[in-house]
């Protein structure tokens, strides 16, 4: 159905060309607003920023709440928060984020079902 690219805007045009207009093309853009805008201009259906919390992924840079606030006010392309999610972060970002990319937050938990429930409860406020 689509692809989640991890190199910002660099592969969006090629993926769109290869997969066609019906495929979903998403782009992970780290913490960089400019990369997100470039991905959107290149044809991404959504842009993902992160990590938003504690994680060993990446270089230690974080996508801060201000980025999601700005994006939600200025850009129509859906925005995804991912990486190092916890209930407090989800609760804070839910009003300014379209989606959450949940992964290791539940799969590394002793009880993934409870971990997921904690995050979805936080989304509801």
Q: Find the Cα–Cα–Cα–Cα dihedral 52, 55, 60, 65, rounded to 10°.
A: 10
Q: How far apart are CA 70 and CA 19, in angstroms?
A: 30
Q: Structure tokens of 66? A: 């201000």
For residue 59, the model assigns a pLDDT of 78
For residue 1, the model assigns a pLDDT of 87
Provide the 10 A C-beta neighbour count for residue 70: 15
pTM over 0.85: yes
Closest C-alpha among 33, 38, 44, 35 to residue 67: 33
Domain boundaries in the chain? 2-124
Q: What is the mean pLDDT, run by run of 10 residues, along the chain of 125 residues?
A: 93 95 96 96 97 82 96 97 96 98 94 97 92
Does 3.20.20.70 match the CATH number of domain 2-124? yes
């Amino acid at each position: 159905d689509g692809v989640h690219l991890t190199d910002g805007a660099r592969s969006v045009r090629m993926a769109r060309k290869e997969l066609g207009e019906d495929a979903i093309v998403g782009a992970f853009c780290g913490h960089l607003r400019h990369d997100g805008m470039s991905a959107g201009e290149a044809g991404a259906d959504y842009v993902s920023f992160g990590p938003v919390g504690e994680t060993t992924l990446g270089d230690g840079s974080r996508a801060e709440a201000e980025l999601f606030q700005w994006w939600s006010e200025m850009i129509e392309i859906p925005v995804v928060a991912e990486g190092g999610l916890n209930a407090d972060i989800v609760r804070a970002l839910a009003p300014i984020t379209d989606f959450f990319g949940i992964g290791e937050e539940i799969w590394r938990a002793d009880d993934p079902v409870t971990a997921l429930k904690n995050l979805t409860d936080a989304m509801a406020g």
